[in-house]
Amino acid sequence: MSQEIAVIGSPEFTTGFRLAGVRKFENVPQDEKDEDLDDAVEAVLGDGDVGIAVMHDEDLDHLSRRVREQVETSVEPTFVTIGGGSAGGSGLRDQIKRAIGIDLMAEDEGESENE
């Protein structure tokens, strides 16, 4: 049984993932995020087929405290946030490490410092 990727966010955010083959998505229009984003996230949390859920990092601010805590502590599905946050790649690296328990990029550190 393979785990699927789901994407949650505005139609503009989800479109690229859908074009890349992601079949599970929750579109939440920008002007309805405060009302509908919690429901969209809870739908993904309740979907046993989803292993990774992708959201824009700014959308976390639109979640209720209860749902945001679920997102931040969920192991399956693992939530990955992307976007304009200052953490950038290191934030994604930490999320991957939390999800699978190892740092996949550890070997590359020495090489990137010498470039």
pLDDT of residue 85: 53
Q: Read off the pLDDT of residues 46-94 as tens digits, 9 standing for 90 and up.
A: 999 999 999 998 999 999 999 999 999 998 999 998 876 544 455 666 6
Q: Which superfamily does CATH assign the domain made up of 4-113 to?
A: ATPase, V1 complex, subunit F (3.40.50.10580)
What is the percentage of the chain residues whose pLDDT exceeds 70? 70
Q: Residue ranges per domain, the chain?
A: 4-113
| Residue 101 tokens, joined | 């328990």
Burial of 62 (0-12, 13-18, 19+ CB in 10 A): buried
| Residue 86 tokens, joined | 């200052």
DSSP element (H, E) containing 73: helix 65-73
Mean pLDDT of the region 8-37: 92
Residue 89: C-alpha distances to residues 17, 40, 92, 94 (Å): 19, 25, 5, 9
Is the predicted pLDDT of residue 109 greater than 90, yes or no?
no
Tell me if the pTM is above 0.75: no
